[in-house]
Structure 1
Amino acid sequence: MEELARTWWVYLIRGLCALLFGLLALIWPGITLYALVVVFGVYAIANGVFELFSSGRGGARSWMVVSGVGSILIGAAVLLWPGITALVLLLLIAAWAVVVGILEIVAAIRLRRVAAGEWTFVVSGALAVLFGVLLFLWPVASAMAVLWLIGVMAILYGISLVAMAFRLRGVGFHRPGTSERPHPV
């Protein structure tokens, strides 16, 4: 848990990026497909890089590495083929969300043995899975509805990551059994 507490700021950055992505999708719903492709591709790569950086050591490490590499590969695929159709883009985003969500839930189950508060991983993972499943169920939804769905999901996901970041930061400040408060990183 101390390893995660030292990298609390990584979750904060991931959450803020998700919030920014979600707000942009809601503020400019008329965004072109090309711009959405680029924004999503960059976000998925950044999310994967930060997830790899925060994977640390321990039982959940391998799942977080797989999730991070998967995010980077999906983001790269989206950027390499910017002329992708809306349906294929939606299916890539749906697959990415389901895989990342499942891997975060698996990591939470592994973390419950060493730390309380793993529910934040479960919530963010469950939101990602729910979002992916909804996209798979209704892939022909209008572009406006999809942009709103993507925006709302990204905002909720970002809020859960920001909450987790501050929870982890609090763990770093209060070490059980001591009165010392370590200097924040």
Structure 2
Amino acid sequence: MSDINPMAESEPIEPTDASGMLAKNWWAILIRGIAALAFGLCAFVLPGATLVSLMVFFAAYAAVDGVFSIVAAVRAARLGEQWATLVFDGLISLTAAAILVIWPDISIQALIVLLATWAIMTGLLEIGAAFRLKTEHGRVWLGLAGVASVLFGVALIVAPFVGALVVTWWLGVYAAVFGLTMVSLAITLKGRLSHQPAA
């Protein structure tokens, strides 16, 4: 009589849920984190940035963030995994970037409304995704990124008439926190993926 547990043979090598999908796309999350850190660094290095400079920085970051969200979604779709949230997240960022490119003479108040809307919507998506992520795959990091986004958006709504310099500083702090959580999430996911047993 064999001592081999038949259930062990039937366990999937790689999960096909949200945790598995994110683990396979850890590199895209890492690039999003690095882009956020670079954006935050620019905000601190150039604290006296004009409104135009602020828009250029944010549009570039939102475009990079959106593109890599879409890339991750396409890869997930090809593998038959969940992709709708990533597409929605990417489209929000790309839309925000497009608005700034199409409307270059946007006022500081309109920019703050745009930033607040973008931050809250993406933050809520990240928090929702965190609940679908396994704890060992970095649920805390994704949740913290979502909370940071929502808090940043709420702060902009509470103080809608702050100047461009203050918004630049706030963006720098937010981008630094968001970037660190994304990099930490990517490292955690890569570690979980490398620990998957070989077929």
- TM-score computed with the length of structure 1 as normaliser: 0.88
Q: Secondary structure at the match of 2:132?
A: helix
Residue 98 of structure 1 corresponds to 120
Residue 4 of structure 2 corresponds to none
Give the CA deviation at 1:124. 0.4
Residue 82 of structure 1 corresponds to 104
Q: Does structure 2 retain, via aligned residues, the 8 Å contact 1:97–1:131?
A: yes
- 1:166 matched to 2:187: yes
Q: After TM superposition, list the pairs within 5 Å mapping 1:15-164 onto structure 2.
A: 15-55=33-73, 56-57=76-77, 61-112=83-134, 116-164=137-185
| One-letter amino acid of the structure 2 residue matched with residue 95 of structure 1 | T
Deviations 1:118-145 (A, max 9, x none): 2221110110000000001001123322
Q: CA RMSD in A?
A: 1.9
Q: Hey, what's the Cα distance between the residues in 2 that align with 1:89 and 1:64?
A: 24
Q: Does structure 1 retain, via aligned residues, the 8 Å contact 2:21–2:81?
A: no
Q: Hey, what's the Cα distance between the residues in 1 that align with 2:119 and 2:103?
A: 19
Segments of 5+ residues of structure 1 without an aligned counterpart are none
- Structure possessing the higher radius of gyration over alpha carbons: 2
Q: Does structure 2 retain, via aligned residues, the 8 Å contact 1:5–1:171?
A: yes
Q: Secondary structure at the match of 1:30?
A: coil
Q: Hey, what's the Cα distance between the residues in 1 that align with 2:156 and 2:149?
A: 11
Between 140-149 and 157-166, the greater mean CA deviation after superposition = 140-149
| One-letter amino acid of the structure 1 residue matched with residue 83 of structure 2 | R
| One-letter amino acid of the structure 2 residue matched with residue 30 of structure 1 | G
Q: Hey, what's the Cα distance between the residues in 2 that align with 1:65 and 1:118?
A: 20
Report percent identity of matched pairs: 38
| One-letter amino acid of the structure 2 residue matched with residue 136 of structure 1 | I
Between 14-23 and 135-144, the greater mean CA deviation after superposition = 135-144
Segments of 5+ residues of structure 2 without an aligned counterpart are 1-18
- TM-score computed with the length of structure 2 as normaliser: 0.82
Q: Hey, what's the Cα distance between the residues in 1 that align with 2:82 and 2:169?
A: 32
Give the CA deviation at 1:2. 3.2
